[in-house]
Structure 1
Amino acid sequence: MVGDTTSGDRIEKSFRGISQRLAVHYLRNLGGHPVVDGEPQDPDSDVESEGVDTVVGEGWTAELSNRKVNPAGSIMLTEVSVIFTGEPQILSELVEKFSRKAMRAGG
């Protein structure tokens, strides 16, 4: 986890070492539905996580983006940012569970 911002019913977090596709996969495992062409899909559908930038769940939405960062030297890492919005009590638990999953990635 790199950084975070919390404001009421909006929490923004950034993670290094995971891909956006993997982040979507984690959100699907937490009950989220990937949004494709503006329509939420079934979490168990065969919709690929690649290219998905919004996932919705009961009482929450996660918007994802990624960029390459250069933390030191010539190494380039992917940094995935997730903006969680929704009901504060739901977000607290969701962000904690997602963060635990994201911290295990790559190790």
Structure 2
Amino acid sequence: MIETITRELRGLPDWVLHEYFVKLGGLPQPDGSYAGEGWQARLTRLPDEKRGVMVFCVYHLEFSGEGEVLREVWPRFELKILRPGG
């Protein structure tokens, strides 16, 4: 059964997210999403968020896949987005 996890991500540039998806085994797709074995991630760019002099990029993330695959891949991705340097 396909499951989906949605999150808003802030402060991570697109090139960093690209690296994270590739490190998980994902490949960029023609529609801009990333697909790995049994999972797919789709990023939608939202308006930047300004806090004082800092500007943060904001994305809506839909991470979906077979339940078993998602339970294995999502925690690895989540660790990367929770700390600098992934």
TM-score class, shorter-chain normalisation, is: 0.7 to 0.9
Question: What residue number does 1:41 align with?
Answer: none
Deviation at 1:93, TM superposition (A): 2.2
Q: Relative to structure 1, is the Cα distance of residues 79 and 28 closer, same or farther in structure 2, using a 3 angstrom cutoff?
A: same
TM-score by length of 1: 0.66
Q: Secondary structure at the match of 2:25?
A: coil
> Higher helix fraction: Structure 1 or Structure 2?
2
TM-score by length of 2: 0.79
Post-superposition CA distance 1:29-56 (Å, at most 9, x none): 10001113x5xxxxxxxxxxxxxx3000
Question: What residue number does 1:21 align with?
Answer: 15
Distance 2:15 2:60 in 1: 12
Runs of 4+ in 1 over 4 A off after TM superposition: none
Post-superposition CA distance 1:27-86 (Å, at most 9, x none): 1110001113x5xxxxxxxxxxxxxx300011111001222123x445321122210111
Q: Secondary structure at the match of 2:12?
A: coil
- What's the RMSD between the two structures over aligned residues? 2.2
Fraction of identical pairs, as percent: 30
Question: What residue number does 1:42 align with?
Answer: none
Q: Relative to structure 1, is the Cα distance of residues 106 and 30 closer, same or farther in structure 2, using a 3 angstrom cutoff?
A: closer
Number of equivalent positions: 84
Is 1:10 aligned to 2:7, yes or no? no
Q: Relative to structure 1, is the Cα distance of residues 104 and 54 closer, same or farther in structure 2, using a 3 angstrom cutoff?
A: same
Distance 2:54 2:44 in 1: 20
